[in-house]
A and B are shown apart, each in its own frame.
Chain A
Amino acid sequence: MADRPSPAGAPPRSPLLGGTRPDVSGGMGIYLTAAAVAGLMLAAVLFFALIFSRGAAAFWPKPLEEWTLDDGTVLLVQPVEEYDTGDVRARTGNREFMPGREDHVRIPASRIVSRRVPEDAVWIERREYGPFHGYLDEVAADGYHVRLPDGAPEVLAADQVLRVEPINRFGAFGRLGLWFRNVFRFLSEEPRESNTDGGVFPALIGTSLLVLLMSILVMPFGVLAAVYLNEYAKDTWFVRLVRISVNNLAGVPSIVFGVFGLGFFVYGLGDFVDHSLLGLPSNETRFGTGGLLWASLTMALLTVPVVVVATEEGLRAVPRERREGALALGATRWEALRHVILPGAKPGILTGLILAVARAAGEVAPLMLTGVVGLAPELPVDGEFPFLHLEKKVMHLGFHIYTVGFQSPNVEAVEPLVYATAALLLLLILVLNLTAIRMRARVRRRLEGR
C-alpha cells in the first residue's frame, strides 16, 4: 500500500514536509480509512433518522383525504406510502365496516378518481376496531351518531368512543397539540386490542421495575468485586482468575444467561420457594414460572461486568495521594475506603449503574425466557399487600417491539406503533448512554490529569 522504504540514510521526502513526489498511496490510504468512518456515521445517521422520523410520524395527525375510486367507493383515508409500482397504501379506519375487515388499502393510484380534504371529517379513537373515519352528526343518549365516508349513518356506542378529533380543521399548532396529546396517551395508556392499539404504559412500568430491582441486586455485588480487584487484591493467580471471569461474563451471550435463569432461578429456586417454603400444592405455581424477580436476577448477573469495569475505572481515578494520606493519618483500610475512596469513585460507580440500566432496558433475549410477556393482564404493583408482586410477569419495551412487530395478525396496522415503541426505547437508551459517556469522560480526564 505504502511506498517502499528508502534506503537508510536517504529518508523519503515527505510531501507533508514539502517534498516533490506526491504520496498518492498515502492519500488513498487515509481516505480509505476515512471512508470507513464516514460510512459508519452515514449508516448510523440514517438509522437514527429513520427510527425517529417514523416513530414521531406515528403520532402525527395526517389529514383525512376523501378518495373516490373508479368503482364509486368513497373512502376517508390517511395516506401511508407510495410505491415505485404506482400503488398507494392508505389507512382507511372503520375496520368493521370494510370489506375483508382490514383497515388498510393498497390500490393503484390510477384508480382514484378524485381527492379532496373535507373540512368536517372527524377521526374517532375507539376502544375496539381501531380508529373511525367519518362525520359526526350529534352525540345523543344512545351514542355517537356518525356517518360513514359514503354517507351511511351509524351509531357508535358511547363507551366505545375514547375521543373525537376534527383533524382536518386543525392548523399547524392544532396538529402539534394533537401530536403531543397522542404522545402522552401513548405513554400513559394501556395497550388495547391485543397490543395493536393504545399505549405502552405497562411496558414502561415493567421496564422500570425490572431495571430498578436489577440495580438493587447488581450494584453491591459489582462494586464489591471492583473494590476487591482494585483495592484489596495483589497480583496473584486468583486475581487473574477473577479478571478472566469478569471478562468472560461480559462475553457470554445474553441468551445463555436466559437459559441459566430459566433453569436455575425459575425451575430451580422458583420450585423450591413454591413447594418447600410456601407449601403450595404440586400443581400450583407462583414463583415456579417466569416473573419479575427472576428476570431481574438474571439481568443483574448479566450486568455485573458492566458495573465492575466502570467502577474500577472510577476507583483508579482516585489519586493515590488521597488513599495514602488517609492511611497515613491512621485510618483503617475500611475507613479509607468508606470515607475517601468510594466517595471519590462515585462518578465511576454511577456510570456503571447507568450503563447497566441501559443494557438491561435494551436486552430482550434473556427476559423472554425468565418472565417478560407480550401482554401482562395486570401490573406488578398495586394496592394489595405486598404492593410489589415479585412473582408476576411483566411487560417490557424491548419485548413489546418483538411481540407487536412479529406476532400481530395485522402487521401494517401496527407498524407505526412498533416504530414509536422502538423510537421510545432508543431514545431512553441513548439518553442513558450519553449521560454515562459524559460522566465517564469526566472520570477519564481526572485519571489522565493525575
Chain B
Amino acid sequence: MARRASDRRRNRRDRLAAGIVRLGGAGVVLAVAFLAAFLVREALPLAARPEIHDDRARVAPLGGDGLLFGVDPFVEAGWRLTAEGVLVLRDLRDGATLAEARPFDLAAGERLVAARLAPSGGVVAAATSTGRVALAEFRVVPEYGDDLARTYRFSEAKVRWLRDEADGAPITRLDGDVEDDRLWLAYAVEGEARVHLVRGRLKTNRLTGAERLSVKDLAADLPAPAADLALLDHGGLVVGLSDGAVLGFKPDRRFRTLDAMPTTAASGLEPGSGGVLAVRSLVGRGSVLVVRVGDVLEHHLPRPREDATLELYLAHAWEAPVRGLRDVAVSPRQRVFFALGEDELRIGQSTAGRLYGRSPLAPGWRGVLLAPREDVLAVWQGDGAVRLEPVELHYPGFTWETWFTRIQYEGLPEPAYVWQSTGGTESYEPKVSLVPLVVGTLKGALWALLPSIPIALLGALYCARFLRGRAREAVKSFVELLAGIPSVVLGFLGALYLAPKMNDRYLSVLLLPLVLALAALLLGALWARLPIQWRRRFHGGRAAWLLLPLFFLLADFLLRSGPGLEGWLLGEPLTAWLRDRFEVPFEQRNALVVGLAMGFAVTPLVFTLAEDAFRNVPRDLSEASLALGATEWQTAVRVVVPPALPGVVAASMIGLGRAVGETMIVLMATGNTPITSWNPFRGFRTLSANLAVELPEAEKGAGLYRTLFLSALLLFAMTFVVNLAAEWVRVRGRKKL
C-alpha cells in the first residue's frame, strides 16, 4: 500500500517535471514570438488613419457672429472676435460669458473688416474699415478658483499697429505673424493689383522698458488683384490671383525690394488654372496650401536654388478632395490640414502628400479650427454655436512615403531621403526617411565583411586542414577568445586610436593586405621549390608561425612609412589628394575605420563557424583523396571545400547578421551622420546606432517613438531572414552529405 502511494507520488512528480521542462522549451519559442509581436504592436498604430468622431460631437454656444474664433487647449472656453473689435470669451461647458476685451481701441465708427489667425494660434492680424491694420497677441489663460474649478480669462493683449494710416483703404486680404522681435504683415488693398509686405522691428529700451516699433512697408506689383495671400517665414509671402496665378515673393536682405520667386512644379504636376479662392500657410510657415475654383487643392513651398535664391515649388496637387472645396484649416502643431468643402471635410498631411478619409461638415459653417492639443475639431456653425468633434489624428506624418520615398521637405533644394527627426523649433517638420539608415547599415556591414570574410574563410581552411593537434586547438581557442571581445572596446579603439592614426596613412592601410598576401604567395612559391626534407621540416602547419614575424616587420615598416609614402607619391595625404582631385569628401571617423573595427569583431565568429564546417567534412573523403595521390592543397580545395560550402555560406551569413546588428562600434567609430552615401571615406548612421541615439530621447507613444520601433522591427526582420536563410542552407548542405 505504502509502496504504491510512493510510486504514485513519484509518477506525479515525473509528470510535473516533464510539464515544466516542456514549458521551458515552449518558453523560448514564446520569447521570440513575443519579442516580434511586441515590436509589431508598438509599430502598428502608425498604420492607423486619422479619425473624426462625429458621433461623439457636442455643440456649445459661442454666442453670435464675428470674424474669428478660437478655443483654449482644454476646449473648455471659446472666444470670438466681433466686427466691433470686441473679444468675447465664453465658457463652452455652460455657455456663461467669462470675459470681454477691446484690445484694438478703435475710433468711433471704426469697425474691423477682416481678420486672420496665425497657424500656430495666438496672433491675430486685423484690418479696420479706415484702412488701419494691427497685430494682436493674446492668449486664453486658465485660472483656478478656491474649489480648484478652472475658469478662464484673456491674457493682456499686445496690439501693435503696423499700418496706422486711416486713409480708408479697404483691406480684406491680410496675414500677419510674430517672429521673435520681428512682426510681419502682408496685405492687399481691395481692387489694387499690388501686394504689400510690412516689417515691424521691436526695440525695447533696456532702462525704461519702453518699446519702440519701427515699421517699413514694401510693395510689389501684381498682374491682377490678389484673391488671397499668406505669409511664409522670414517675410516670404505667397499671393494667389483671381486669374489663377500663384506667385511667391521674398524681400531682399536689406529689405529694400520685394522680389518675385520663379515657380516650378514636381514632375508630372502642373499648377491648376482655376482662380484662387484661398491661400493658407501651414504651421511653421514653410509652405502654403492653395484652394482653387473647380475643387483643386495645391501644396506649394519655397525651396532654395543653387544661387541661394528661392523658387516656389508645387509639391502636391489634389483634384476634388471634397465636394465644393472652399477653404482649408491647419493644425497648430504639425503639417496637418483639413480640406473644407460645402458639406464635408477631409484630413490631409503635407509632408507625405496624403489625404485621408472624409467626414461630414454642417453646411453653412463659418470657420473650422483644430484645438491646440489636436484632440478636438471645432466647427463654428452658421447659428453661432461651435460643434466640438473629438479627433484622433494618430500619426499622419509617418507613412511609408515618408519612410521609404524621396520627399520634398520644406526648405530643402530637392526631394531627398533625410533622417532628421527633431529640430530646434516646435513647428519643425520631422524628416524620418529610413533609407539613409538602411543604406548606412548595409554600408557598414559591407565594409566590415570585405576584409573579414576572406580572412575568416581562408584562415578557417588553414586551421582545419593544415594545422595539427595542439596548434590547431590553440588557434581555435584563441579565435574563440577574440569572439568575446566586447564591442565597446573595439568601438572606442576605432574612434580614439585607429581613426586618428589612419588619418595620414590610408594608402598603407589599403596596401597592407595586398603586400602581406603577395609576401605570403612569394614565400609559398619558394617553399614549394624547396627540397623535400626542408619542406617536411617547415611543413604547411608551420607556415603561419613563419609568417607572423615577417608580417609584423612588413606591417610596421609600411605603416610607419605611410605618411612619407603618401607625401612622396601624391605630394599630400591620400585623403587630401582625393578631396582636391576628385572632390571626394572625407571624415575622420568613416566606413573604413568601422570596417576594420567591426571586421575584427566579425572575423572570429565566421572563422569559428567555417572551421566547424570544414572539419565536419568526413575524413574518409580527404583521406581517400590523399591516398589517391592528390596534394594537400588539391584535397583541401577540391575535396573538402565543396561539401563544406553550405556551412561556409551559412557562416558568412551569420557574420552578415552580426555586422548588420552591431551597435557600439558604429556608434563610436562613425560620426553618426545619417547620409545616403556609399563613399567609404565618410561616416554613416546605422539602424542600430540610430536606435541607441534617439530612443532614449523619444517621447513614449509619439510618432518618432513608434518609427524607431518600426526600425527595430526592420532590423529584427533583416537578421531573422539572414539567420533563417543560413539555417536553411546549412541544413540542406548537411542532408546532401
Contacts and interface: CB of A to CB of B under 8 A. Distances in A.
Contacts, number: 369
Given A30-B524, A253-B662, A437-B477, A259 B727 contact: no
A44 B456 CA distance: 13
B528 A365 contact: no
Contacts of B491: 402
A224 B466 contact: no
A418 B39 contact: no
26 contacts: A2-B637, A5-B638, A12-B630, A30-B633, A34-B462, A35-B544, A36-B457, A37-B462, A37-B544, A38-B548, A42-B551, A51-B493, A224-B20, A232-B18, A238-B29, A245-B29, A246-B28, A248-B724, A251-B661, A253-B661, A256-B661, A334-B14, A368-B692, A369-B696, A411-B496, A434-B481
Interface stretch (B74-82, B252-260, B707-715): B707-715
A17 interface: yes
Interface residues of B, number: 123
B475 interface: yes
A32 B517 contact: yes
Interface in B684-713: 688, 691-692, 695-696, 700, 708-709, 712
Query: Lowest 9 A-B CB distances belong to which pairs?
Result: A253-B661, A224-B24, A31-B524, A362-B486, A27-B528, A228-B25, A26-B633, A34-B543, A33-B462
Interface string A246-275: 111111111111111011100100000000
B543 A30 contact: yes
A422 interface: yes
Contact of A249 (B10, B31, B38, B663): B31
Contact of A401 (B492, B535, B657): B492
Contacts of B543: 30-31, 34, 38
B218 interface: no
A255 to B, nearest CB: 4
Contacts of B709: 259, 263
A304 to B, nearest CB: 7
Given A39-B513, A253-B662, 15 more contacts: A2-B638, A5-B638, A16-B631, A27-B524, A30-B632, A34-B546, A40-B479, A246-B28, A254-B661, A256-B39, A257-B35, A260-B39, A262-B696, A332-B11, A429-B484
A12 B454 CA distance: 29
Interface string A302-342: 00100010000000000000000000000011110110000
Given A11-B629, A406-B495, A247 B22 contact: no
Nearest to A253: B661
Contact of B634 (A26, A231, A262, A365): A26
Interface residues of A, number: 112
A27 B513 CA distance: 19
A361 interface: yes
Contacts of B526: 27
Given A22-B529, A335-B14, A259 B28 contact: no
**Interface SS of chain A: helix, strand, loop or mixed?**
helix
B459 A244 contact: no
**Interface SS of chain B: helix, strand, loop or mixed?**
helix
B723 interface: yes
Contact of B21 (A17, A37, A224, A244): A224
Contacts of B660: 253
B486 A30 contact: no
Contact of A51 (B38, B489, B527, B528): B489
B23 interface: yes
Nearest to B475: A37
A242 B29 contact: yes
A228 B540 contact: no
Contacts of B716: 252-253, 256
A220 B42 CA distance: 29
B463 A255 contact: no
B473 interface: yes
Given A32-B521, A418-B492, A433-B481, A253 B715 contact: yes
B497 interface: yes
B31 A426 contact: no
Contacts of A24: 524-525, 528-529
A40 B633 contact: no
B489 A422 contact: yes
B485 A362 contact: yes
Contacts of B527: 27, 30-31
Interface of A: 1-3, 5, 11-18, 22-44, 47, 50-51, 84, 220-221, 223-225, 227-229, 231-233, 238-239, 241-242, 244-260, 262-264, 267, 301, 304, 308, 332-335, 337-338, 358-359, 361-365, 368-369, 398-399, 401-402, 405-406, 411, 415, 418, 422, 425-426, 429-430, 432-434, 437, 441
A244 B715 CA distance: 18
Nearest to B462: A33
A31 B521 contact: yes
Interface in B80-136: none
B178 interface: no
Contacts of A304: 28, 31
A40 B525 contact: no
B352 interface: no
Contacts of A249: 28, 31-32
A264 B544 CA distance: 49
Contacts of A225: 24-25, 27-28
A47 B492 CA distance: 12
Interface string B531-557: 010010000100111111001100100
